[in-house]
Amino acid sequence: MAKSAQNSPFRIDLNLLHPKEIPPPLLERFFRWLITYGRFIVIIVEVVVVSAFLMRFKLDADLDDLKRNIEKDLPYIEGLSNYEALIKQTQLRIDEFDKINNKGPQIKQALEDISSQIPSSLKLSNISFEPIPNTTNTKFRVNGVSTSNSEIGFFINNLRKAEPLKDIDLTSISFSDEEIIFTIIGETKY
């Protein structure tokens, strides 16, 4: 029976002791490395995948908490929209003032020339400047309130006598509760 087992066609001779003089083939070295270190790589990859899967639950919970906090604070933020509009309007006014201020000394000089001609009882409510295209001149509009008709006439005459100002005209006048509301337009020659 021992002889029949040796001559069997299904017998495989396997030498588990490999001689040290001959280096093992590349495929054999790869399989040895895969058996020894590959399992650690598989374990590390599985740990990373499972931790990423568990982290997803934590991040979803954080996202839900954040959405709830936003929905809770939303009415407060919407209530501040009036303040936001006021701040934006103020910033636009500051920008316009900076544009006028950076336009150069002509606007500053025009403001000084107009303000030096104002009588004491006259109150100005608005002064606006608009550059005239293709010239260095600037149009201006002055809105104001006075209690005396003679003060308005005095103011207009002083503006007409001022050297850098020209084309001074009274464009509108109206009466309201013992006050005279007026508008004067003109040009500066800077």
User: Mind spelling out the 3-state secondary structure of the chain?
Assistant: CHHHHHCCCCCCCCCCCCCCCCCCCHHHHHHHHHHHCHHHHHHHHHHHHHHHHHHHHHHHHHHHHHHHHHHHHHHHHHHCHHHHHHHHHHHHHHHHHHHHHHCCHHHHHHHHHHHHCCCCCCEEEEEEEEECCCCCCEEEEEEEEECCHHHHHHHHHHHHHCCCEEEEEEEEEEEECCEEEEEEEEEECC
**What is residue 36's predicted lDDT score, i.e. its pLDDT?**
85
Q: Identify the band that residue 70 occupies on the pLDDT scale cut at 50, 70 and 90.
A: very high
> Would the pTM count as exceeding 0.75?
no
104-188 is a CATH 3.90.25.10 domain: no
Q: pLDDT, tens digit, for every residue of 140-181?
A: 899 999 888 888 888 888 888 888 788 888 888 988 888 889
